[in-house]
Amino acid sequence: MSVRIVALGNEKAGFEDSLQQPDLITTYFGRHAVIRHIEERRLLSFPTNITFPAFAEYHAYVFGRVQVLIHDCPNWDLFDNDWYRSRNVVGLADIIVLKYSVNDKTSFQEVKDNYVPMIKRILNQWTVPVIVTAVGTRQNEEGPPCSCPLCTSDKGSCVPFYEGIELSKEIGAAYLELHSLNDFYVGKYFGGVLEYFIIQCLKQKSSQKKKRSSRPHIIPPPTLREPVKLPCLKIEESRYHCDLLNLYYSSLCTDVVFSSKDGQEVSRAHRVVLCNASHVFMSLFGVEIASDPSELPKKIAHTLFTIDQRDTALNSSQALLHNIQPVRVIILDSLLCACYSEVLKFIYTGSNCWDELKSVLWKKLENLEQVKNVMEILKLFFKCNAKTFCPSNFSNQGAKSKEQSQSYCCSLSLFFQNPGLADVIFIVQASIPQAMALLICAEMYQIHRLQQICESHIATQLQTMPSRELVSTNLSIVNLYNKAKFHNATRLSTWLLHFIASNYLIFSQKLEFQELSEEEQAFVENHRWPSSSYLQELTEYRHHIHSGRSRCILM
């Protein structure tokens, strides 16, 4: 016989060294005399080999050979990220322990606002003993009351006694306050209540077991197997940055030629990429900057670049943006000119790994002062943080954290939601027919990743539809299947065929089912759920139950 305990909440919140603090569950099950053995398995480190990733799982034995299985979840975000499986764990509990720190209102509010409403729904279906445990000594309880601002702020951060009482009354729970996680409070106070509930749970299970053993033999109903898992429609990783870099290397459709002051060509580029990357290039090519009306970008542009005199007749924004011949731009700064191809590669990748760019410039220039000068110029391009842009010690650049590098401006971030240079507007609606229409366009233009995104969206929307909506909907799943097959969406067409088979009792009654070919109908019949053999066994079972030779004892 075994007992399941589910512990929810964080009783270690509010401590500066919360990672070093003991927790209620391991303190009780690790020290108390009734425990014969405890085994801890941390399930959060290996999510592919676990059953419930939101919980830490413990096994213990009490009262000799009674096994206790404990699931402990200290964080609501972990619980909510795996909502359905986590809720199932709570539904299987014999005893529920809610815990919070009296010196941290956030932990109390997490219990009150998140865990309690869920537990109240469970208690509406069956009775489960609940223990509300408040851990810690309130910081404002020692000595006479004080009215200084510091103490007032302490009072605001503590959970009053009456709030814990009201919470426990709301769900009919036992309320305990443990001022310390020592042997007295944990072993005798908390342990006494918990052991009482364990004993009551064992008595109830023993009584139910005797009742089941005293019943006459009943033929069990047929077992309905789980439906076949639908194929997974994965979306490949974006190749956006890689494709842009390849566009730079190939020099296809370039409309800008950068050259040195002596006329030698340095590199080629695309104005639309450059203008999205920096306001300096927008000013250089005469594009209006609605978000930055200052004159600074124009001054920087004329300091570093100039358009070849042969292109002065094309010095308007419309002419520059629609000119067929590439515009020749002269780089006035010789140091920037020497490493300009590396700067363009950095712009095209949309990377914000500035340390990597500095390493490339160091290999190119081999001079620390020159590298710093180039980085100062680029700082003007992308408006980066002046304090962290160029570290004083260049040799220690690798020690900077990843988070600090990611705080810099991404040169391609201006591509998104930028109406100034955009020529395509997407109207987003979570509609299945429109997703199919977009999929057809993606297949027409061979945009494979967009096609995969549409496939995944359609599958997700259909999976979330309840059965009653599938029965009444005017959306033809067979029509979707035929369109997917016609437009080479093989993954989606296969998924839809499995979806029809998994909801056989719904779709087999619709006229559209007859539009499937004989081969497709045979596939659906072979993979249908529930299977025809199960329905036949169910019919025979019902006939046996209601026949004269056998009567259902419940009826």
pLDDT tens sequence across 419-470: 666 667 766 667 899 999 999 999 999 888 889 999 999 999 998 888 888 8
Phi and psi angles of residue 8, each rounded to the nearest 5 degrees, phi first:
-130, 135
pLDDT of 146 strictly over 60:
no
Q: Pairing relation of β-strands 35-41 and 56-62?
A: antiparallel
Q: How many H helices and E strands in the chain?
A: 27, 11
d(CA 250, CA 268): 10
Q: Tell me what percent of the chain is helix, strand and coil, each rounded to the nearest 5.
A: 55, 10, 35
Res 34: pLDDT? 42
Of 299-303, 345-349, 503-507, where does mean pLDDT reach its minimum? 345-349
Model confidence at 403, in pLDDT bands (50, 70, 90)? Answer: very low
Indicate the DSSP class of residue 49.
G
Q: Residue with structure tokens 């924004």?
A: 317
> Quick one: which of 101, 94, 50, 49 has its CA closest to 74?
101
For residues 245 and 522, which has the higher predicted lDDT (pLDDT)?
Answer: 522
Q: What single DSSP character describes residue 113?
A: I
How buried is 128 (Cβ within 10 angstroms: 0-12 exposed, 13-18 middle, 19+ buried)? buried
d(CA 352, CA 354): 6
Nearest-CA neighbor of 23 among 67, 59, 74?
A: 74
Burial 281-305 (b: 16+ CB within 10 A, else e): bbbbbbbeeeeeeeeebbebbeebb
Is pLDDT larger for residue 131 or for residue 395?
131
Rg for the chain (alpha carbons), in Å?
A: 34
Range name among 236-240, 288-292, 495-499 with the lowest pLDDT average = 288-292
Which phi and psi (to 5°) does residue 237 adopt? -65, 150
pTM above 0.75, yes or no: no
Q: Which among 21, 20, 2 is positioned nearest to 11, based on CA atoms?
A: 21
Whether pLDDT at 505 is above 80: yes
As a whole number of angstroms, the longest Cα–Cα distance in the chain is 107
Q: What is the dihedral of CA 540, 545, 550, 555, to 10 degrees?
A: -170
- Confidence (pLDDT) at 22: 74
Q: Choose among 445, 453, 410: nearest CA to 244.
A: 410
Give which of 31, 85, 9 is closest to 53, Cα–Cα.
Answer: 85
**Average pLDDT of span 463-487:** 90
Confidence category of residue 389, pLDDT binned at 50, 70, 90? very low
User: Hey, which residues does 327 pair with through a beta bridge?
Assistant: 256
- Which of 497, 494, 488 lies closest to 515, judged by CA? 497
Whether the predicted pLDDT of 103 surpasses 70: yes
Q: How far apart are CA 524 and CA 512, in angstroms?
A: 14
521, 202 contact by CB (below 8 A)? no
pLDDT band for 483, please (50, 70, 90 cuts).
very high
Residue 55: pLDDT over 60: yes
Mean pLDDT, the chain, whole residue set: 77
Report the run of H or E that residue 276 belongs to, with start and end.
helix 271-277
Give the mean model confidence (pLDDT) for residues 76-95.
Answer: 86
Using DSSP, state whether 302 is helix, strand or coil: helix
Q: Is residue 199 a contact partner of residue 34, using CB atoms and an 8 Å limit?
A: no
Rounded-to-integer distance, Cα 179 and Cα 185, Å: 7
Is the pLDDT at 541 greater than 50? The verdict is: yes
Sign of CA dihedral 279, 281, 284, 290: negative
| DSSP strands (E only) in 116-185 | 130-135, 174-178
User: What is the per-residue pLDDT for 280?
Assistant: 86
